[in-house]
Every structure is written in C-alpha cells, then in structure tokens.
Amino acid sequence: MRYTTLGSTGMTVSRICLGCMSFGTPDWRPWVLAEEDARPFFRRAIEAGINFFDTADMYALGVSEEVTGRALREYGRLDELVIATKVYFPLADRPNMGGLSRKHIVQACEASLRRLGVDTIDLYQIHRWDPHIPVDETLAALDHLVQAGKVRHIGASSGWAWQLARALGVSERRGWARFATMQNHYNLLYREEEREMLPLCATEQLGVMPWSPLARGLLAGSRSSVGDRSASTRAATDSYGHTLYDQDTEWAIVDAVRAVANERGISMAQVALAWLLSKPVVSAPIVGTTRLPQLEDAIAAVDVALSAEEIASLEAPYRPQPVRGH
C-alpha cells in the first residue's frame, strides 16, 4: 500500500479509502452486506495496509457505523486508522433528525460516536450543503465539536465551489476549524469538478476523496451499455445512480478504459482508479465493494502508473455535461 497526507491535516492515509455504504443490513438496500458478510472486507483491507475508512450516519440508518466500528476495533489498531463519517441526511422522518443545524450536528455526532465505539471521529463531514441553515451556524457547530475533542478534522462534500470558498472564508474570519477535505463526484465519466472545485481544493490544500470512482461499475466493465440495469442488484435498484450517467459519449470512455486494460492485461477497474490516483489533487478515491475481487482490484490499482499517452487516450472522449451529484 502507498500512503499520502490528507490535505493539510497531517494525517497519513492509504491511497485507497474503503467506502462502507455497502456494509450494514440488506433491510436498508438489497445490495448491502450484513455484518457477517462484511467482516472479511475489513480484515482484507487492513491486511493490505488500507487505514482509511469512510461511512455515514444515514448508511443503513446507522448500522453501517456500528458494523464499521466493531470490525475496525477487532482487526485494526485505532491509533493507526483514520475513520470518517458524515452528517446531513435524516435517519427518520421527524423534526430535527436531519440537516446542518447546530442541534442536529451535535446530536448526530454524539450518536455516531456511540455507534462507532470511539471517543473521537478523525474526519467529520457534511454529507451535502444545507440551503436552509446559515453557514455560520453550521461552521460554529462543527468548530464546537473540534474544540470539545469529539472531532479532529472537518470536511465537506458535493456542492458548488462558491459554497466551499465562502465557508473557508467564514472560518478564516472567525478563527474556526476549516474544511480540510472535499468528498466529491469525480471519475473518468464525470469531470466537471475540474473546472473550479479541484483547482480551489489544490489552492487551499484540501484533501480530495472522490466518490463513485468507478461510476457505479460502468468503468469496471460490469455493464453492456450505459443504460444496462441487469448487471447487479444495485444497478437494478439504485435510482440515484440512474440519474448520474446517461450521456451519449460515456460509452466511448468505457471503451477507452477497456482498450488500456486489455493492452496492459489488467482490469478496467485498476485503470480507472489509476487515472484518479494520477491526479495530484486526489488523496484517496472512496471505493465501495460487495465482492472481494473488487477490493483486490482497488488494492492493485495503487501500483499502476499510467503513461501520459494512456492518460490522454482515456481523457480524449470526454465532453462537457450538466453538473450532477450535488
């Protein structure tokens, strides 16, 4: 495994972050693995040197955090690991159970700490931006958690670059903890983040943790077309994922990935992840898995160095498209 520093935090993280949305209970989503089936993924990840794990309170309505916490305490050494979770989406259709108010952020953090079984969350992220709450209130609540020792660093997720820039400015003026990371939608099929968000992250030294690095399996070659929903249970039931990829040019990119993979004799997933890892601004793609070979591909991708010619061939078919994933 290779490692890097996560933005300006000083924390050392593996170049692959294991996403834990697929671990918890299939009662939440049919493709989610129950705890017994999820445990081998944590064991193998830690054996391979992965020390970075990302979950969220809304994944399996809290069960993902419970499963993640138990597995990491059993298989890893918490002092060596970096545990990230997120807040925003509601866990119940009741008042004060979602959003980024001070009340919900503090309550949600305390609940995540209990479910994870830790004293401090290494990286606490807003899962989305809340248009109904002043950013000052959100940032003050997050700074409170840092000062109280419940959170070490804070991060943001998908949104507009102006929202991140504004938040960084408010934190600077107030002397509050500032966002240290950006978890955004970025892969070979979706590169709109290259316009403003990624240059901002590079300038402000934020660590970047792309979600959906394999475009819901399209870049891994798991589908016969962009609209193919038969490849897996998740492909068939992931209504949100269906809204992310529908451009006519996307299959040409998939073909380009396949060509490089065939030439090298490696998997398409390794090529697509290696492309992300070649970007200096990217710290660690967040890779979700439901089969162990998928995890092995992610581990192997860290050692794949693409040539300038290969990168150019992968990027050439891309065309601008509407912003997605906010």
Give the end-to-end CA distance of the chain in Å, rounded to a whole number: 31
Contacts of 322-326 with C-beta under 8 Å, sequence gap 24+, read 323/192, 324/185, 324/190, 324/192, 324/243, 324/244, 325/158, 325/184, 325/185, 325/190, 325/211, 325/212, 325/244, 326/128, 326/129, 326/158, 326/159, 326/160
Both tokens of 135, joined, read: 């950013």
Which of the residues 3, 59, 240, 245 is marked catalytic? Answer: 59
Non-local (6+) Cβ contacts of 293 within 8 A are none
124 is catalytic: no
Cα 243 to chain center, whole Å?
18
Cα 117 to chain center, whole Å?
21
Both tokens of 171, joined, read: 């934190």
Name the strand (E) or helix (H) holding 157.
strand 151-157
The 10 Å Cβ neighbour count of residue 184 is: 24
What is the rounded CA–CA span in Å between residue 150 and residue 109?
8
| Alpha helices by DSSP H, 205-291 | 233-237, 239-242, 250-264, 268-277
Residue 2: C-alpha distances to residues 17, 77, 163, 195, 311 (Å): 12, 18, 32, 28, 21
Non-local (6+) Cβ contacts of 230 within 8 A are 236
CB 87 within 8 A of CB 104: yes
Can you tell me whether residue 275 is helix, strand or coil?
A: helix
Catalytic residues: 59
